[in-house]
Amino acid sequence: MVLGVVFVAGILASVTSNVSVSTNASESVNVRVTNKVRSSSETKIQERESLRLEYKQEVDGAREEYRVRLGELKENISVVRDEGKRMAIENINTRVYNTNLRWVERWNAVLEKLSGVLDMVEEELGGSGYGDDDREAVREKVESARDVLNDAQLAINEQAGKSYIVELDSELNLGEQVSGFVRSFKSDLKLVRDSVAEAREAVAEAVKALRSIS
């Protein structure tokens, strides 16, 4: 039982240490799985499965929308007479789109790992040696973490569905307009990053609760 808890804590540490974690399957935990799973927990897991499918749809949709809107980008930067500046703006726009895609993929991988950690916590609770009150206290932490995890997935899905295209009113204040575009993008990323951080903390609390009764 203790080894199971230590293993779960180790997996959590590997997830929280770097946001660009690998999506390879985690090592299995040698614990007995209980057949008594609370309906509320099942519902949250089902919600997560639905959100995972939605994430893929958002990514695919954003890719297609960006491809279509490339013509809009060309039109937007046509107000810039200098060809070098036009190319620079187009490159910035492309980097913003690609950076966004990379981050949502990384964050989605993090949530996959965190979800797996919660699964292992619940599996550990299926073993013998835990009182009903202790199980309930840990399960409450797990269910709370799943809520936070699903909120973070919603934020990632929304970000994944964005296809960033710079909009220019005129050639005046060109640098300021492009800088504003980049600042807006960074602000969007920060909101999602904060949501993922909250999910990590919530999962850490669930693991902590399990360790406290072991």
- The mean per-residue pLDDT over the stretch 67-74 comes to 86
Orientation angle between helical segments 2-16 and 174-212, nearest 10 degrees: 170
Q: Which residues contact 179 (CB under 8 A, 6 or more apart)?
A: none
| C-beta of residue 192 within 8 angstroms of C-beta of residue 111 | no
Mean pLDDT of the chain: 82
- The mean per-residue pLDDT over the stretch 53-72 comes to 88
The pLDDT > 70 percentage for the chain reads 80
pLDDT of residue 2: 45
Token readout for 123 is 């599996």
Q: pLDDT digits over 88-134, tens only? A: 999 999 999 999 999 999 999 999 999 999 999 988 887 767 788 88
Q: pLDDT digits over 2-35, tens only? A: 434 444 455 455 544 444 333 333 333 333 333 4
Look at the chain and count its residues: 214
Q: Quick check: 194 pLDDT over 90?
A: yes
Please give the Cα distance from 33 to 120 (Å, whole number).
Answer: 9
pTM of the model: 0.77
> Residue 93, class by beta-carbon neighbours within 10 Å (0-12 exposed, 13-18 middle, 19+ buried)?
buried
pLDDT greater at residue 3 or residue 64:
64
pLDDT greater at residue 35 or residue 135:
135
Burial annotation 66-85 (CB, 10 A radius, 16+ → b, else e): beebbeebeebbeebeeeee
Torsion on CA atoms 2, 126, 23, 149, rounded to nearest 10:
-110
pLDDT of residue 30: 32
Q: Which residues contact 95 (CB under 8 A, 6 or more apart)?
A: none
The region of weakest confidence among 16-30, 117-131, 140-154, 189-203 is 16-30
pLDDT of residue 39: 60
pLDDT greater at residue 17 or residue 155:
155
For 100-163, the DSSP string reads HHHHHHHHHHHHHHHHHHHHHHHHHHTSTT--HHHHHHHHHHHHHHHHHHHHHHHHHHHHHT--
> Residue 133, class by beta-carbon neighbours within 10 Å (0-12 exposed, 13-18 middle, 19+ buried)?
exposed
Q: Which amino acid is at 44?
A: K
pLDDT of residue 28: 38
pLDDT of residue 102: 96
Q: Quick check: 162 pLDDT over 70?
A: yes
| C-beta of residue 71 within 8 angstroms of C-beta of residue 93 | no
pLDDT of residue 33: 33
Please give the Cα distance from 12 to 16 (Å, whole number).
Answer: 6
